[in-house]
Structures are given as C-alpha cells and as structure tokens.
C-alpha cells in the first residue's frame, strides 16, 4: 500500500509519501518505507495573529505548494491521502477560502484535528524512528511550530499529559520583534510570556527521562550545532544537544541578523527570521527538563502516514 500525508503548519507545509504496513504493536513503523518527503516554507500564518485572517499572498504560496504535492501524489499513485492543518486554519476569518482551495486541489478535505489526536500522532511519529535503547520513560515530545508549541509526556503505557500552547516561532516573532536582531528587551518580554505559559501548561516537565525535539526549530538547531552547510537528515536524526549548548546557541543565534543567519547557517530565509524565538522556547523548556535534547526527524507527519496505513489494513 502507498499513502500520502500532508502536515500544514503556520510556517511550513510538508509531504510524506510512504509504502508499507504499520508494523507490529511492539515495533510500530518497522515496515514503513519512505518514497518522497518534501518541505516548503509558505508562512501560511503571515499576519494571522494581528489580523485574524490569512493574507492573500500566504494562501497563494500555500496553494502553489499543494499543487506541487498533488502532482507528486498523482505520479506515485497513492491509495489514500490525508491533509492535516493547524488550528489557525479553522480560526482565520477567511478559512473557507483555505478549505475550498485544498479540497479542489487534492480531492480530500483539510482536517483540523483535536488536540488529543495531534498529541497521539506527534508522540507516535516522534519515537517510531528512534532506536529503543535511546528512549527511556517518561518521554517528553516537544514540537515547536510557527503558531503553537505541543508538549506531550508519555511512555510505554501511552500518553499521560499533553498541552498545546499558543506560542510558536512565527507568533512570537510577529508579536515581539521590532529590530533585527531582536533586542534584549524584546527577547526578555517574549521570555516572560513563554515562562508564564510553560508554568501553567499542565505538563510535568520535571519528570522526564527522554526529551525529544521534532520539526523545524529542533532540527535546524541540530544542523546549526553540527555546522552543516547542506542539510542532512541522517546526521540530524538521533543527534543530541546538551542544555548548556542549547543556551549558547540561543544566545548566538539571537545576536545575528536574519541575513547573517542565512549565510552563516545555510538556513532558508523563512526559517532564519523566526528561529531566535523558536530557540528561545526550546531554551525555556530546557530550564525545566532534566535531560538533554534528542532530535527526531520523524514526527506528526509520520504518525499521519502510520494511521492511514492502519485504516487501509483494517
């Protein structure tokens, strides 16, 4: 069987086409074979925090990426497709334009899933690609997106606590950054908000044996730490960042301009301008977690695909 999953966030939209079956209960994803994996920075959430609506340019960029993905899905003859969108897609005042545009291009609806399902998909996707000997209970999965940050605590017995917090790299940048690079006062103000929301998120961040970071902020921080001038998923996946090194990187990155970050770290401009605030969130989580950061290249997108395979088998 061949399936396609699309994860549409505030900053990026990603595609995974994969073959196989979900594997055994004890080894989920063991039979998963990646066919195509793609990412486009579209900044769908451009200005949404301030205006409550999708910008026409953001919709155009997103639809162009979906057109590309639709062609790939057709070319690879997928048996099923699922499109999962961020909650901003539902909250925007012109969300009908977004939903109708996705339906017309893919023939499937854009789904805004519940927080509980998002946590389940993120947790499963994050751990299925990591060797079991690297993962000890309890496990915290952290997904820093553009508009929100997901924190999921669980283990062999499943998910115990989860939270979706309305802070992300794009949201914080648009709300607090007035200078490039951001000033100390701007970072301090953003940090106060992050601290307040983390302290009241309902997830016990002190009871963590394995801390896993997924998605663009975490993977970019790993690539920067390794000095990669060309992104290499194999080198990023399974890499680690100590809490001390994460603090150093956050300070270093925040002290550079966006153009400097593009040149020094080989970052996409759509990632370079927001990563200081994504790193800030990760650093604030690190202050509360007693484990170093383990990077996983598998995440909610892989969880979506595994779920599709299970549905087809059932």
Q: What is the pLDDT of residues 181-215, one digit of tens each?
A: 999 999 999 999 999 999 999 999 998 999 999 98
How far is CA 202 from each of CA 147, 151, 198, rounded to the nearest angstrom?
19, 10, 8
- For residue 313, count CB atoms less than 10 angstroms from its CB and return exposed for 0-12, middle for 13-18, buried for 19 or more: exposed
314 within some domain: no
64 and 41 assigned to the same domain:
yes
104 and 174 assigned to the same domain:
no
Q: Report the share of the chain in percent with pLDDT over 90.
A: 59
120 within some domain: no
285 and 158 assigned to the same domain:
yes
190 and 289 assigned to the same domain:
yes
94 and 211 assigned to the same domain:
no
Q: How many Cα neighbours within 13 Å face the side chain of 192?
A: 6
Over residues 105-122, the pLDDT tens digits come to 999 999 988 777 888 888
Residues 6+ apart with CB under 8 A from 244: none
- Here the CATH number for the domain that contains residue 248 is 3.30.420.150
pTM over 0.85: no
102 and 226 assigned to the same domain:
no
287 and 182 assigned to the same domain:
yes
Q: Which residue has the higher pLDDT, 86 or 100?
A: 100
Enclosing domain of residue 96: 2-115
308 within some domain: no
Over residues 258-291, the pLDDT tens digits come to 999 998 888 888 789 999 999 999 999 999 998 9
12 within some domain: yes
Over residues 10-38, the pLDDT tens digits come to 878 999 999 986 554 444 444 678 899 99
89 and 222 assigned to the same domain:
no
288 within some domain: yes
Q: What pLDDT is attached to residue 114?
A: 78
As for how many domains the chain has, the answer is 2
Q: Which residue has the higher pLDDT, 43 or 141?
A: 141
109 and 155 assigned to the same domain:
no
Query: How far, in whole angstroms, is CA 20 from its chain's centroid?
Result: 24
Q: What pLDDT is attached to residue 260?
A: 92
- Indicate if the pLDDT at residue 312 is higher than 60: yes
**Considering 80, 115, 150, which residue would you say is the last residue of a domain?**
115
- Here the CATH number for the domain that contains residue 7 is 3.30.420.40
């Amino acid at each position: 069987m061949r399936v396609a999953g699309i994860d549409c966030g505030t900053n990026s939209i990603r595609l995974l086409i994969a073959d196989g079956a979900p594997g055994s209960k004890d080894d989920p994803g063991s039979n998963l074979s990646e066919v195509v994996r793609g990412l486009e920075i579209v900044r769908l959430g451009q200005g949404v925090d301030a205006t409550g609506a999708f910008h026409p340019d953001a919709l155009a960029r997103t639809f162009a990426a979906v057109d590309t993905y639709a062609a790939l899905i057709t070319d690879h003859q997928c048996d099923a497709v699922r499109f999962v969108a961020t909650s901003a897609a539902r909250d925007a005042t012109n969300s009908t334009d977004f939903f109708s545009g996705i339906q017309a291009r893919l023939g499937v609806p854009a789904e805004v899933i519940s927080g509980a399902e998002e946590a389940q998909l993120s947790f499963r996707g994050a751990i299925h690609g990591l060797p079991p000997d690297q993962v000890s209970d309890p496990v915290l999965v952290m997904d820093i997106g553009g508009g929100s940050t997901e924190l999921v605590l669980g283990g062999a017995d499943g998910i115990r606590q989860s939270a979706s917090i309305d802070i992300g790299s794009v949201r914080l940048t648009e709300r607090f950054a007035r200078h490039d690079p951001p000033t100390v006062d701007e970072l301090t103000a953003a940090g106060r908000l992050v601290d307040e929301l983390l302290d009241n998120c309902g997830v016990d961040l002190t009871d963590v044996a394995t801390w896993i970071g997924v998605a663009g902020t975490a993977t970019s921080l790993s690539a920067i730490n390794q000095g990669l001038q060309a992104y290499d998923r194999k080198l990023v996946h399974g890499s680690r960042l100590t809490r001390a090194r994460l603090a150093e990187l956050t300070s270093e990155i925040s002290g550079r301009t966006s153009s400097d970050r593009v040149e020094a770290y080989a970052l996409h401009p759509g990632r370079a301008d927001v990563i200081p605030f994504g790193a800030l969130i990760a650093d604030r989580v690190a202050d509360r977690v007693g484990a170093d950061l383990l990077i996983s290249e598998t995440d909610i997108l892989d969880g979506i695909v595994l779920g599709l395979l299970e549905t087809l088998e059932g």
